[in-house]
Every structure is written in C-alpha cells, then in structure tokens.
Amino acid sequence: MVEKALPSETSILHGQFSQLLENLGIGVFTVDMERRITSFNEAVQRLTGLKEEEVLGKKCYEIFFSDLCHGQCMYSDAVKASGKPLAFDMEIYDESGNRRHITKLVSPLFTGDGRVNGCIEIFQDLSVYSELLNRIRYDEHRLKLILDNLDIGIFTVNRGGHITSFNSMAESITGYKRQEILGQHHAKLTGCNLPGETCSLEESILSGKVLANLHRRLFTKDGRKLPIRANFMALRNEGGEIIGGLETFQDLSLIQQLNRAISNKYTFADMIGKDGVMQQIFEILPVVAESEANVLVEGPTGTGKDLLAKIIHNASRRKNKPFVKVNCAALPDNLLESEMFGYVKGAFTGADRDKPGRFQEADGGSIFLDEIGDMPLSLQAKLLRVLEDREFYPLGGRKLCRVDVRIIAATNQILEDLVREKRFREDLFYRLHVMRLELPPLNERRADIPLLINNFVKQYNVTKGASVTTIAEDAMDILLNYDYPGNIRELENVIEHACVLCRSATIERRHLPMYLQTPGSRLGEDIVSRTDVATVQHQWEKERIIEVLKKHRWHRQRAAQALGMDRTTLWRKMKRYDISP
C-alpha cells in the first residue's frame, strides 16, 4: 500500500512553491522515517526517468542506492546534523544514458512539535545550465569560445531568473567574476527589483519575444550605475519550451562620456568615486546645482574642480546658457581686468573697437573663476561689486553694464590664510563662500584609485586604439601605493603614458613612467615616504627650470618654449620655487 505524503512538510511541494521549483529545474522528493518515498516532483521524474507511481511507497535506497545516492545514504547524516542541510556534488546518468552534473541537498523534515518525521532531498541539474547556450544553433564547444571572444557582454538565466552563464566581456564590464555571480538572481545586475524599474528580461521570457536595442542600466560590482544598450530573448529547449532567457549588452558609458566631452555637457555620471567624502559631495550636488547660490570649490591641483564646476552648471536651470571659464592665474594682472570686464574703444593704445569681457559673454549663464586666490587685490573690489549688484563698468567706459550670472569659483589655496595675510578681501571671501565644496586629494580617497584607473584605461582603449585589459600585479601595486601629488590629473597622465608604451593586453611595471619605477613608489622593501617623493620631484623640476633659464640668459619666453610650457606657467613656477636671476 502506498503511504500518503507527509501532511505538513510535503505540502510545500504543491501550489506556488512547487511551480517555482519546477521553473528552476529543481528536482525534489521526500521520504518518511522508514525511508519510503512519499512525494516525487516532475523535475526529478525527468531527471531520473522514473515515474511517481513507480516509486511512491518504495524505500529510496532500493531505487537509488547504486546510482543517485552513490552508495552513501545521506538521510541519517542529515538527521544527525540537527536540521542543518547537507550538500554535495555528484554525477549520474539519466534514462538516455547522458551524464548529468547534480548538486544534491539533504535536510530532515520536522513535525510541529519538533520531531523528525522524514527527509527532503533536493537535486539541481547543473548540466542544464552548461547546455543552455548550446540551444542557440551552435556547436557545443564552439559557442562558448565565440561568446567569450565577443565584444559584448552576455549572460543567461533560467526560468527563475538565476544567472546560469556569464561571458568574459560581461566579467570585464561589470567587474564580477563568473564564480561570484553564477546562481545569483539577475536583479543583482539589472536592479529590476527596485521601485520603478522595468524588467525587460522577464518580459522577454514571459512573452517569448525578442526585445532589441533598448537603453537600460546595470549595477557593477563597485556600485556604479552603468548605461548600456541591451537585447533580450527567451531561450527554448528542443521541444520549444521556454527554459530561460538571454541578455546581451554594450557599455555606453564611454560613448556618453566622449559625447559629453565634445559638447562640454558633463553630468553627475562623470564624477567617479565611492569614497565617503565623495559620496557626501554627490549627495548634496543636485541641491547645490538647482540653487542660484555662489559656489566655492576648494581642493589641490588636479582634483577635478573644473569638471565639478561644469557639472554644477549643466545641472542648473542655466544649462542652456553659456558657461565661461576664466583662469585668474594664467593672465597677467594688467590684462585680467580687460579680459574679465571688457573695454571700450580708445580705452588704451590699440583699443580700436569695443570688446565685451567674459562677464558679458556669460550673461544668463555661469562664469567659472578658476584659481581665484591669484586674483590681484585691485580687481577683487570690482568683482565684489559684480557679486553684490550684478553691474560693472568696462575698462575705459562710462556706461554701466548689467549682467545676470552665477559665479562658481575655485582655488587650490586656503582662502582663509590669504585673508589673514591681507592678500584676499574678507568681504569677497564671504560673498563667494555661500556654498563650499571641498575636493579631497587623491591620496585621501585611495579606494577610488582602482575605479579611476579602470575608467582611464577604457577611455584610452577607445580614443587611442589601445587594447589593454589587465594590469600586472607589481604595476598595480605601484599605482595603488603612490601618493599622486598631481592627483587625478597625474593619474590620468600616468595611465596614458602606460597605454602608449603598452603593445600588449597587459600594462606592466616597465610601461609606467620612470619616476614611479625608482625608490619612493613602494618597490619591495625600499620604501621612501610619499612626501619625500614629491619633494624630490619638485627639486628636480626647480633645478631643471634654473638650468634652462640660465641657458637662455633668463629670457622667459624662450625658456618656456624649451621647457614645453606656457610663459604664464613658467612664471607661476618661478614664483612657487622662488627663482630669480
């Protein structure tokens, strides 16, 4: 006589839960205390070739002992494990003689009062996953080879949405390794479980239709939201039954970055960083951008102040109006006023026509005053009036000009110190200091270095035709432990240098600039402090400038040309290093 299934525990094999197990291709059967089979779902029937009516009431070891159980009964071990499931991998041969790779899970079943009254055994056929891609009209081994060498990311899922395959480009784009993501629900990548998100992959599986050329996003391992172009399709078995789905995707982030660079329309997506300080800036940045308040951006040279100013402008209501930049340190004092405020005809010798200044050009938009700490005191008073009244007189003019501009200022100096030293007006400082954003140096946000390296490598692969995919361990060790006195700009230059020299897929230590390969950049035990490295570099630069100036008899224009820098840059470096004839 066939005994009935266990009343409480085996009821889980019916209804929605049973359907879920079937969709996942998971075979399940239960046994009672005498090891008699009490339930046997359709998936395990397909897996073993046995029908439920053939096995119900029979002892499991009489049927599976030499095959499914491999001579080892896990029932008693599961009971002894006090309710903790036991799992192991095994191989069996199905009714057609095909070898199947099985993951087996064994766990006891309990009554309401905690007594063991049976056991549940769960089987997942991993062979289905390995064969999934072979359903798409390709030979078994050739398909994997082809898909792994395509320049698009590809992953497949089963009916339950769990990832069953993940090609090499998908690894490269998302940052996940196969072993990390296989078996996970695709929502970890697609974010389709978040409010307001559309699950195109599930839609394709349910409808059986191909959804092509859709713009979506993926969540990478480091938490970035990556814009992609994706295609979705359902996967079917030989009988035409849908057994899962496939998504192909292309990374659009670089294309979008290049388009934004060409149009100068940078957005929040162009700022990279998971460091806590950067996350705080990202959090308040939309609010800052929407306001009309003046903004002061502080941070060392090369930390991205220019980019941040552009992002603020492009996220504001003035985004369709001009964004005008003025580098206060790049212009001599006698030209800065006319450049900023313009002049009228006859204001000075050679002024044969009226010329509008940068403030007039920025009317209705934003003006970015870079290195404002270098602005001469004589000009600071005029700027203060613009901030207070939005009006000024052009050089040599008597007609008042009125402008509607938002001012974004930036400095790599500490303005409070300049105020104390009477080199910067206190009233102007507080006018600029409405919203203050401070960008940290790169050596204080080291967690962002790998993200930036990866981003720059991708950029140069596209723009310079490089084919870099990896960085050797010793080269990466140098890059991660160097102090970057030039911050992000220096890191970008280092990666460009390496990509130019690298003729293979891997950047090696020899491809890095020479100053990184010498003591001071953490080579073995020969470690020099990062401050010492910066000091050595500055001393070398100072000596080089003096040498070239002497060679050209202190003629700054010719010396600047020989050094490959602008004359104003040479002038600033001479001031920084206290160089004089």
What would the pLDDT profile of 186-235 be if each residue is shown by its tens digit? Answer: 988 988 887 767 788 989 898 888 887 788 888 888 777 788 888 898 88
Spatial CB neighbours of 537, under 8 Å, sequence gap ≥ 6: 485, 515
Nearest-10 Cα torsion for 159, 160, 165, 171 = 130
Q: Could you identify the residue written with the tokens 């990556």?
A: 226
Q: How far apart are CA 466 and CA 232, in angstroms?
A: 30
Please say if the pLDDT value at position 256 is more than 60.
no
Identify the pLDDT of residue 368.
93
- Rounded to an integer, the average pLDDT of 238-263 is 69
Domain map (residue ranges) of the chain: 10-125, 136-251, 265-438, 444-528, 531-576
CATH architecture, domain 136-251: 2-Layer Sandwich (3.30)
Per DSSP, which regions of 10-128 are E strands?
26-32, 37-40, 86-93, 99-110, 116-125
Domains 10-125 and 136-251 belong to one CATH topology:
yes
CATH fourth-level superfamily of 265-438: P-loop containing nucleotide triphosphate hydrolases (3.40.50.300)
CATH for 531-576, options being 1.10.10, 3.30.930, 1.10.287, 1.10.8: 1.10.10
| pLDDT greater at residue 92 or residue 42 | 42
Average pLDDT, the chain: 76
The domain made up of 444-528 has a fold known as Helicase, Ruva Protein; domain 3 (1.10.8)
The domain made up of 10-125 has a fold known as Beta-Lactamase (3.30.450)
Q: How far apart are CA 520 and CA 537, in angstroms?
A: 11
Query: 371 near 408, Cβ under 8 Å?
Result: no
Q: pLDDT above 90 covers what percent of the chain?
A: 8
Instruction: Collapse the DSSP code of 59 into the 3-class scheme (helix H, G, I; strand E, B; otherwise coil) and give the result.
Output: strand
